[in-house]
A and B are shown apart, each in its own frame.
Chain A
Amino acid sequence: EVQLVQSRAEVKKPGESLKISCTGSGYIFTTHWIAWVRQVPGKGLEWMGIIYPDDSNTRYSPSFRGQVTISADKSLSTAYLQWSSLKASDTAIYYCARLARVFRAFDIWGQGTTVTVSS
């Protein structure tokens, strides 16, 4: 079964760092881009950025560039999203999703990682 499994929910304080993960299985991880998508509670979906695990070629949404870092370890079939200094406004559910080659749709999604930032 093709799937993306994300790391568990996190509760952090403002200013702390965090790295969440997304591990793929059931397919060749290096052949598909992996994106990160944010969903603030009660709001819509926001594309944050995308990485090609084979060569770590990364592209960011202008809204998120400089705010987060996306990386990947192809030997572990895992993509990462990290923050160096969290803010309360980073509280959200973060999804990873696989970009299909055909028409660039997100065909496989992780279950989501809830990040709560509160003092």
Chain B
Amino acid sequence: DIQMTQSPSSLSASVGDRVTITCQASQDIRNYLNWYQQKPGKAPKLLIYGGSNLETGVPSRFSGSGSGTDFTFTISSLQPEDIATYYCQQYDDPLITFGQGTRLENK
């Protein structure tokens, strides 16, 4: 099974900061890597699919990069509404795995 290592597990940042989260796969997953945002009490929301493609309606301050085993998720300038937990997710037919999550807090 493919394991996903997401880091950091938590992060404190201020409004306007650049925030970076990484996800590493134990095997090559090409670009089958997606990123989600989850706010308390809400369902997750898809932000980035295929490693670097912005989902429709998602602000352009969110971006993703990487392929193979190493992936990066970036918020270019943190906004107050971005305080949430972020997850990566990989698809390796027939199995699906989520990263452990990164809790983003306001410094």
Give chain A's interface residues, CB within 8 Å of chain B: 35, 37, 44-47, 50, 59, 61-62, 95, 97, 100, 102-107, 109-112
Contacts and interface: CB of A to CB of B under 8 A. Distances in A.
Nearest to B50: A103
A105 B44 contact: no
A109 B43 contact: yes
B: interface residue count bin = 20 to 34
A77 B70 CA distance: 37
B101 A45 contact: yes
Contact of A47 (B43, B45, B96): B96
Contacts of B96: 35, 47, 50, 61, 104
Contacts of B74: none
B46 A105 contact: yes
Contact of B32 (A35, A46, A97, A104): A104
Contact of B34 (A35, A106, A112): A106
Given A59-B94, A61-B95, A103 B53 contact: yes
Given A45-B89, A103-B31, 10 more contacts: A45-B44, A45-B98, A45-B101, A47-B89, A47-B98, A61-B96, A95-B43, A103-B91, A109-B44, A111-B43
A42 to B, nearest CB: 10
